[in-house]
A and B are shown apart, each in its own frame.
Chain A
Amino acid sequence: EAGVAQSPRYKIIEKRQSVAFWCNPISGHATLYWYQQILGQGPKLLIQFQNNGVVDDSQLPKDRFSAERLKGVDSTLKIQPAKLEDSAVYLCASSLDIVGTGELFFGEGSRLTVL
């Protein structure tokens, strides 16, 4: 079974530029999450989708961050314009919420450096 795919793995941009990250969850997983992990900290939820609807975006800085999951499968997270403090790893995760523990399966992350 293929895992959660993310791209690009690394991105370096200057402040005020824009960047987009892509995520393809595990097949059949209805719920998709974007987390931000700043160096030395635990992941922080940015947005949660169930199919193509937003469940929780309360911690998403909506003045500069946007995310979509138009067809209920893959998702894109965009930052425009980027700030220095956006330097972090952006982790995408998915979960199967029918039975079991419903653990999250994570991708390898997209590391963003803003100069």
Chain B
Amino acid sequence: AQKITQTQPGMFVQEKEAVTLDCTYDTSDPSYGLFWYKQPSSGEMIFLIYQGSYDQQNATEGRYSLNFQKARKSANLVISASQLGDSAMYFCAMRGGVDTGRRALTFGSGTRLQVQP
């Protein structure tokens, strides 16, 4: 079974500062992928960034980077230079067993980020 844990229900950050959202995971699959999604108040889930378990380098997408520590089973999202529009719920998710064709994502409980001016 796969499990995603997000221990920060809410976070505050000042505009233009960096913030780290924590995510730990548990899986018995040797191959897996880790995702972060953003959910604004409008409700739509927006894909931010992906990290494969065998990727040698940490993923980056613009102001988003993923701090992947495989031995610790953590995949923290770092948002640099926070903007007011970053205020939203953020979900960490995992896809395991890609070799066997299981493609659904398991989501964590989310972290609500509020960016303050």
Chain A residues in contact with chain B, CB under 8 A? 31, 33, 35, 40-45, 48, 55-56, 89, 91, 93, 95, 97, 101-109, 111
- How many chain B residues touch A (Cβ–Cβ < 8 Å)? 26
A44 x B44 contact (CB < 8 A): no
Please, which residues of chain A bring their CB within 8 A of the CB of B52?
A: 101
20 chain-A/chain-B pairs, Cβ below 8 angstroms:
A42-B93, A43-B45, A48-B103, A55-B102, A56-B104, A89-B43, A93-B45, A95-B103, A97-B103, A101-B33, A101-B52, A102-B95, A104-B35, A104-B105, A106-B37, A108-B42, A108-B43, A108-B44, A109-B44, A111-B43
Total inter-chain residue pairs, C-beta < 8 Å? 61
Q: How far apart are the CA atoms of A108 and B105 in the complex, in Å? A: 17
* A contact patch SS: strand
